Amino acid sequence: MRIDIISAVPDILNSPLNYSIIKRAKEKGLVEINIVNLHDYGKGNYKQIDDYSYGGDAGMVIMPEPLYRAITDLTSQRDYDYIIYTSPDGELLDQPMANTLSIAENIIILCGHYKGIDHRIREHLITKEISIGNYVLSGGELAAAVICDSIIRLIPGAITDEMSALSDSFQDGLLAPPIYTRPANFNGWEVPPVLLSGNTKLIREWQEQKALERTRELRPELLENLEG
Ligand code: ADE
């Protein structure tokens, strides 16, 4: 998979995409992440990328030309499955969406910024708008990092034990059951005895029951989605 992220503040993306599972996936050649600095496509000597909005609302708007040039520079080199724009207006990211995106070959993620981008780019070039939650971030970079993380970990081979991604919370529509490690007794707080029993069938049943209980208690709407 190749992910091109277009950003006006590319430095924000350095750290979140350079550790742990994402770092390993890059080293294994499972994903290539290319960060494009929108200023490289800016206008004139000052590499201008934004301007005042028509209509006079406060705040600057990213101009269509730099966006058009940045996107078409990429699309002239290869086909893209999705040209994503991060925005609180978009479709809410959830596990099924991450699963769908994880089988794409090439993705562009354009990070929103300032007041927004010229709407014509959204109408004519963007093929999918994604929100990571019902709140407003200062820019789309952190949203882009969240989207990347949620999909890269699903690429086969990104996680050593593939079962581990499949048993994540949400993969079966339920929250994950509680997990424990040694010591079996810490401060008098004991690990549930069934987990020490060595009886895999009983352990599975306990985990399924706990997953259901936790979902019913903490996120009952997920069960309605399953039943609906
Ligand atoms: N940009 C600003 N807020 C956002 C959000 N909630 N999701 C995605 N992109 C955003």
What are the tens digits of pLDDT across the range 164-212?
777 777 878 899 999 999 999 999 999 999 999 999 999 999 999 999 9
Averaged pLDDT, 7-30: 96
Q: Is the pTM of this model over 0.85?
A: yes
Give me the CATH number covering residue 46.
3.40.1280.10
**Confidence class for position 68, pLDDT limits 50, 70, 90:** very high
Strands 60-62 and 116-117: parallel
Whether 81 and 177 map to the same domain: the answer is no
Does ligand 1 have an atom closer than 6 angstroms to the CB of 7?
no
Cα distances (angstroms) measured from residue 51 to each of 47, 68, 133, 203 = 12, 15, 28, 60
What CA dihedral angle connects 135, 139, 143 and 145, to 10 degrees?
Answer: -150
Residue that finishes a domain, picked among 101, 129, 152: 152
Query: What pLDDT, in 10s, does the model give residues 132-142?
Result: 999 999 999 99
Residue that finishes a domain, picked among 128, 152, 176: 152
Q: Whose CA is nearest to atom 7 of ligand 1?
A: 131
Domain count, the chain: 2
Whether 181 and 129 map to the same domain: the answer is no
Whether 10 and 41 map to the same domain: the answer is yes
**What is the span of the domain harbouring residue 190?**
167-227
Whether 146 and 70 map to the same domain: the answer is yes
Whether 209 and 103 map to the same domain: the answer is no
Atom of ligand 1 nearest to the CA of 136: 3
Averaged pLDDT, 15-20: 95
d(CA 64, CA 117): 7
Residue 104 has pLDDT above 90, yes or no: yes
Q: Whose CA is nearest to atom 10 of ligand 1?
A: 87
Distance 9 CA to ligand 1 centre (A): 15
d(CA 70, CA 142): 20
pLDDT score for 208: 96
Whether 202 and 116 map to the same domain: the answer is no
- % the chain with pLDDT above 70: 98
Whether 19 and 124 map to the same domain: the answer is yes
Residues near 211 by Cβ (< 8 Å), separated by ≥ 6?
Answer: 172, 174, 175, 176, 177
Distance 188 CA to ligand 1 centre (A): 44
Distance 89 CA to ligand 1 centre (A): 8
Give me the CATH number covering residue 213.
1.10.1270.20
- % the chain with pLDDT above 90: 88
Whether 59 and 122 map to the same domain: the answer is yes
Answer yes or no: is 201 within a domain: yes
Answer yes or no: is 162 within a domain: no
pLDDT score for 163: 64
Answer yes or no: is 193 within a domain: yes
Which mutation among 126, 136, 148 tests ligand 1's pocket best, with the greatest number of atoms within 8 A of CB?
A: 136
d(CA 10, CA 7): 5
Answer yes or no: is 105 within a domain: yes
Residue 152 has pLDDT above 90, yes or no: yes
Whether 39 and 123 map to the same domain: the answer is yes
